[in-house]
Amino acid sequence: MSQILARAAAYPFLLNGEWISNGTPVEIHSPFDRSVVGHVFYGNTSHVETAIRASVAAFQITRKLGSYERERILGTISRLLSEQAEDFARTIALEAGKPIKTARQEVERAIYTFKVAAEESTRIEGEYLHLDTLPATQGRWGIVRRFPVGPIFAITPFNFPLNLVAHKLAPAIAAGCPIILKPAPQTPISALKLARIIDEAGWPPGALTVMPLSNEDASTLVTDERIKLLTFTGSSVGWDLKSKAGKKRVLLELGGNAAVIIHSDADLAFAAERCAQGAFGYAGQSCISVQRVLVEKSVYREFLKLVVIATRAMRVGDPLDETTDVGPLIRETDAMRAESWVKEAVAQGATLLCGGVRNGSLLEPTVLTNTRPEMLVNCREIFAPVMTVEPYEDFNEALRQVNNSPFGLQAGILTRDAQRIFTAFNELEVGGVVAGDVPTFRIDHMPYGGIKDSGLGREGLRYAIEELTEPKLLVMNLGA
d(CA 436, CA 311): 20
Burial class of residue 72, CB neighbours in 10 A (0-12, 13-18, 19+): middle
How many CB atoms are located within 10 Å of the residue 276 CB?
A: 27
What pLDDT score was predicted for residue 7?
60
To 10 degrees, what angle do helices 67-83 and 189-201 make? 130
CA distances from 149 to 125, 208, 450 (A): 15, 15, 22
Cα Rg for the chain, rounded, in angstroms? 24
- Distance CA(403)–CA(379), nearest Å, equals 11
Q: How far is 311 from 275, CA to CA, in rounded Å?
A: 9
DSSP state for residue 245 in the 8-state scheme? S
Residue 253: active-site member:
yes
User: How much is the pTM?
Assistant: 0.95
pLDDT in tens, the chain (480 residues): 334 444 679 999 999 999 999 989 999 999 999 999 999 999 999 999 999 999 999 999 999 999 999 999 999 999 999 999 999 999 999 999 999 999 999 999 999 999 999 999 999 999 999 999 999 999 999 999 999 999 999 999 999 999 999 999 999 999 999 999 999 999 999 999 999 999 999 999 999 999 999 999 999 999 999 999 999 999 999 999 999 999 999 999 999 999 999 999 999 999 999 999 999 999 999 999 999 999 999 999 999 999 999 999 999 999 999 999 999 999 999 999 999 999 999 999 999 999 999 999 999 999 999 999 999 999 999 999 999 999 999 999 999 999 999 999 999 999 999 999 999 999 999 999 999 999 999 999 999 999 999 999 999 999 999 999 999 999 999 876
Distance (Å, whole) CA 327 – CA 210:
27
pLDDT score at 69: 98
What would the DSSP string read from start to end of 276-343? HHHHHGGGG-STT---EEEEEGGGHHHHHHHHHHHHHTS-BS-TTSTT-SB---SSHHHHHHHHHHHH
Number of neighbouring beta carbons within 10 Å of residue 128: 8
Which is catalytic among the residues 71, 95, 106, 253? 253
**Cα separation of 148 and 144, whole Å?**
13
Question: What are 284's strand-pairing partners?
Answer: none
Are the C-beta atoms of 352 and 366 separated by less than 8 Å? Answer: yes
- Contact (CB, 8 A) for 169 and 179: yes
Q: How far apart are CA 80 and CA 427, in angstroms?
A: 44
Give residue-wise pLDDT tens across range 12-51: 999 999 999 998 999 999 999 999 999 999 999 999 999 9
CA 285, chain centre distance (Å): 11
Q: What is the pLDDT of residue 6?
A: 42
State the Cα–Cα distance between residues 26 and 10, nearest whole angstrom: 10
**Residue 246, by phi and psi: left (phi above 0), alpha (psi -120 to 50) or beta?**
left
SS3 2: coil
pLDDT of res. 3 = 41
In angstroms, the CA 304 to CA 300 distance is: 6
* List 95, 106, 287, 390, catalytic entry: 287
Residues 6+ apart with CB under 8 A from 184: 156, 157, 158, 161
Is 27 labeled as catalytic in the residue annotation?
A: no
